[in-house]
Amino acid sequence: MKLVKVIGSVTSTIKDETLKGSKLLLVQCMEVDLKGKQDYYVAVDTVGMGEDEIGLIVTGSTAKKTEQTRKKNVDATIVAKVDKIDLG
């Protein structure tokens, strides 16, 4: 899993049939101290995330294992909203 911050949304009127009805968000990978990395994904939102919220994504074949993404052409899926990070 990767720690990410939602930085925007992606609108696509022409897309693969399997993606119709999916909410696509642009996310930026984060360090544990919440500093942004230069690593970005377009991810399917399965938990109702909003801009500037912190979440967790899964990528690769694991991204297709949620109820909403099963049998869909996805490579990144938001699977959790992070409420709090405790370090030490």
Classify residue 72: in a domain, yes or no: yes
- Domain extent, residue 21, equals 2-81
Classify residue 87: in a domain, yes or no: no
Which residue type sits at 70? R
pTM of the model: 0.92
At 56, list the tokens. 């967790």
Looking up residue 15, the CATH number of its domain turns out to be 2.40.50.220
Q: Report CA Rg, the chain.
A: 13
Residues present in the chain in total:
88
pLDDT at 52: 97
Please give the Cα distance from 43 to 9 (Å, whole number): 9
Classify residue 36: in a domain, yes or no: yes
Compute φ and ψ for 54, nearest 5 degrees.
-100, 135
Classify residue 76: in a domain, yes or no: yes
Mean pLDDT by 10 residues, the chain (88 residues): 98 93 97 93 97 97 95 96 91
Classify residue 40: in a domain, yes or no: yes
Q: How many domains does the chain have?
A: 1
